[in-house]
Amino acid sequence: MTTEALLAACGVEDQVLWRKLGRRRLETAHRAGDLDLQEALKRAHPSLVWNLWLPLLTVLERRLGEGPPVLIGLNGPVGAGKSTLAQVLRALAAQAGIHLAIASIDDAYLPWEERQKVLTGNPFGVGRVPPGSHGSDVFTTALGQWRQGGLLRLPRFDKTLRGGEGDRCGWSEQRADAVLLEGWLLGCRPIPQDQLTAMVHAQGGASGLGLSEAEVDWLPRWNQALGDYGPLWEHLDTLWILRPVDWTCPRRWRLQAEAQQRRRYPGSGLTPANVEALVRASLGSLPPSLYQDPLLGKAEGVALIDRQRRCPWSGTGAEAPSALAQLSLSSSTSAIG
């Protein structure tokens, strides 16, 4: 369910009228000629539509009314449905005359040669994902120029290049009223080193976090690299979080997505072993109990996503910790192992 507090934070004064207008918007979307949008609405569970998509659209419109441009940050793990949400939100915004650009932190990945140097010897054996593998300064500069009235010019990244390691593949350039920036580490901040050591110890060390000793040894490096993203996070006007009901979900979601990709395009997609390494890198380089959970209270909106990608609850960031406790949801990363 969507909490009254979230709708109030979104600027909704009459929630009955808001739902009536929401139904009208969805009816218009179903009649429109956008087949991708129609298919997404058909596949989506109603809880996603009412607890996440429409509240976020309301926030976008309210903030644009206060004065463009607007940058929305969306934090969520791999497979949580960030891309689908972005696709639907862009289409619904277009119906309201809003040009919403979609950007992913993945497009900020460093060129292949630079990433090899940064990630050499990392304990996950991956060529992308952990903090430090992005050139966040490129996005920071681009968004700064866009805020000054310029075009939004961002790099593009193709994950199929370099034998699946991926590489930059050019640039995109467009005008936009607003931007949705999504990524699994969006908004995460570094922890002071002495506090990090104490927090790891309090979590039970490597075994408590579900990590190997080598992976724990690399935590300070990932933590330090996270500091480079701060100037980019400062551009965010609002932060929303997709929080899985437990941290076994991202692996399940990503494996399902890759299986569908291989069925649709035989010979494409990642192997299960590669998927495992990438998901583990996202959960292990920034353990959620250390980095994601503290972020909840800083979010304007939080949506809990279950294993079937339904949204049983959404609310404000201030409400999220107690909602998680009531639902007995564990934030442990023991599922990493």
Q: Which residue has the tokens 């292990």?
A: 284
Least confident of 182-186, 222-226, 327-331: 327-331
State the average pLDDT for the chain.
Answer: 89
Q: pTM score, two decimals?
A: 0.92
CB 246 within 8 A of CB 329: yes
DSSP secondary structure letter of residue 245 = S
> What pLDDT sits at residue 332?
46
Residue whose C-alpha is closest to residue 89's, from 47, 45, 46, 59? 59
4-105+176-336 topology per CATH = Rossmann fold (3.40.50)
Q: Give the integer Cα–Cα distance in Å for 103 and 273.
A: 27
Reported as a pLDDT band with limits 50, 70 and 90, residue 105 is very high
E-strand stretches of the chain:
70-75, 100-104, 152-158, 167-174, 178-183, 238-244, 301-305, 313-315
Backbone angles phi, psi at 157, to 5 degrees: -125, 130
pLDDT at 202 over 80: yes
> What pLDDT sits at residue 147?
93
pLDDT in tens, 258-291: 766 666 656 656 677 888 899 999 999 999 999 9
pLDDT in tens, 36-71: 778 777 778 889 999 999 999 999 999 999 887 999
> Cα dist. 328→246, 322, 332 in Å?
10, 10, 12
pLDDT in tens, 240-263: 999 998 888 888 888 777 766 666
pLDDT at 218 over 70: yes
